[in-house]
Amino acid sequence: MEKKVLKFHDIVLVRYDEIALKSKKVRSRYEQILVKNIKSMLNADGCSYSQISKEMGRVFIHSDDDNVVKSAAKVFGVVSVSPAYTCEPTLESAAGLCADVGCRIIREGQSFAIRARRAGNHSFTSRDIGVACGDAVFKKINKNTTVDLDEPDVEIFVEIRQEKAYVFTESVKGVGGLPMGTQGKMVALISGGIDSPVAAWLMMKRGCEIVPLYLNNEPFSDETTRERAMACIAVLQKWSPQKKFTIYEAQHGENLLAFLENCDNRLNCVLCRRMMYRIAGEVLKLEDAHGIITGSSLGQVASQTSLNMLAEMYGMEYPIYHPLIGLDKLEITDIARKIGTFEPSTKPATCCMAVPEYPSTAAKPQEVLDAEKLIDVPSLVDKMVKNIKKFS
C-alpha cells in the first residue's frame, strides 16, 4: 500500500484583531469587507484557492498554494496567517495529525510543545487536547525527543473548532490595521519624497481609501519629480488591488511664482502648503472625501515646526491629518523600505527651487493672512481647479 504523503497545507488560517472589538453589526460588515479585500489581493497575486469562508474570529482560505500565505499577510486588517492541516474535530484525529506533522519537523534530540485551544462545544478541554496530541507525537517520533513547555525547539499548534480541527507550526505576521474601505476616503498629498507615500500608506492601514493628489511645481521642478511621485503612487496601488486609485494632478508653479514676486519669501513654504490644502479641499468635495493627508513630521525640516503648522492650517475648512507627526526620519524610512516606496522615492529628481534659503520657522497666522492679501488667492485656486487633471 502506498504511503500517504502529507501535503504542506490544505488551508490557510487568517486572523484579525481590532475587528473583533466592534459591535456585532459593525463586525459583520468589516468581516465582509476583509474577505472581499483578501480575494482581491489573492487574485492580483495570481494565487489559486477554491473558496474563502469565515467563522467567529477567523477567515479560512481553502488552498494549498504556498503563495497564499504571503499574499494574505499584505491585506490591511490581517494580523497573522498560518498554513494549516485540517482533520475532524476529535481528539483522536487531532492527535494523529499532530503525530504526522511532528514526524516531518522534529529532528533527533529536539524538544517540542503542543499549544492547544478550542472553540465551540466539546466534551474535552484545551488541556485534554494538549495531553492527547503530546502523547501521540512523543510515541510516534521515537527520536530521543523531549517535551519542553517553556522553551521548546519546535511548537505544534492545535485549534479544534466546531466543524474542523487545525494543526499548524508557524504564524506569519500580517500588516494589521483595519480593512481598507471601512474608514471612508481621504485626499493624500503625494510629492514623491520619502514621507508622503508612507503617510498615505499608514492611513490606508487604518482603513482609508485614498485619492492621490500631486502638485506639479513646474517650472520650479521638472518631469523627474513627477515621475518619482507617480512611481510611488503605483507602489501604493499594489496595496489596494480592490480599488483602483483616481489620481489628480494640479499645476502649482504659478502659485509659487506669485509668492516669490509679491510676498516675504521666508513665508513661501507656509503659503505653499496653504494653497495645497485649498486645492486638496476642492478635490475632497469632488470625491466626497473626509479629510486631507500630509507627510509632515514635527520638526523634521524648518518649515514643519509647530508654529508653522498652526499658521498653514489656520482657517482651513477640512480636517488635515499628519500620520507621521511623531515619527523620526529613521522610523519613516524603515516603513518606506518595508512597503516598497523607498526605492522610487529616492531616485534622482529636481528638488523644488522655490524653497527660500532661510524659511520662517515661526510664522504667525496673521502675517500669513496679510501676505495672502498681496495675491489673488481665489483666482489662483479657480485656475488650478479648471486645469486639474484626473486619471487612473
Query: For 59-104, how does the pLDDT look when each residue is reduced to its tens digit (9 = 90+)?
Result: 999 999 999 999 999 999 999 999 999 999 999 999 999 999 999 9
Q: How many residues does the chain have?
A: 392
The pLDDT assigned to 7 comes to 56
Tell me where in the chain the CATH 3.40.50.620 domain(s) lie. 185-391
Query: In which band, very low, low, confident or very high, does the pLDDT at 6 lie, cut at 50, 70 and 90?
Result: low
pTM of structure:
0.93
Residue 373 has pLDDT above 60, yes or no: yes
Burial of 358 from C-beta contacts in 10 A (0-12 / 13-18 / 19+):
exposed
Which among 346, 371, 200 has a CA at the least distance from the CA of 273? 371
Query: In which band, very low, low, confident or very high, does the pLDDT at 8 lie, cut at 50, 70 and 90?
Result: low
Residue 9 has pLDDT above 70, yes or no: yes
Query: In which band, very low, low, confident or very high, does the pLDDT at 2 lie, cut at 50, 70 and 90?
Result: very low
SS3 state of residue 368: helix
The pLDDT assigned to 142 comes to 73
Cα–Cα dist 372/350, whole Å: 27
Tens digits of residue pLDDT in 104-137: 999 988 999 999 999 989 999 999 999 999 999 9
**Average pLDDT estimate for 381-386:** 96
Tell me where in the chain the CATH 3.30.2130.30 domain(s) lie. 11-173
The pLDDT assigned to 136 comes to 95
Percentage of the chain exceeding pLDDT 90: 88
Q: Which of 3.40.50.720, 3.20.20.80, 3.40.50.620, 3.20.20.70 would CATH assign to domain 185-391?
A: 3.40.50.620
The pLDDT assigned to 192 comes to 86
Tens digits of residue pLDDT in 160-175: 999 999 999 999 999 9
The pLDDT assigned to 4 comes to 44
CATH architecture of 11-173: 2-Layer Sandwich (3.30)
Q: How far is CA 178 from CA 76, 169, 197, 213, in A?
A: 6, 26, 18, 23
The pLDDT assigned to 208 comes to 98
Q: Per-residue b/e over 170-197, b at no fewer than 16 CB within 10 Å?
A: ebeebbbbbbbbbbebbbbbbbbbbbbb
184 contacts: CB under 8 Å, gap ≥ 6:
208, 209, 289, 290
Tens digits of residue pLDDT in 215-253: 999 999 889 999 999 999 999 999 999 999 999 999 999
Cα–Cα dist 258/254, whole Å: 6
The pLDDT assigned to 303 comes to 84
| Average pLDDT in the chain | 94
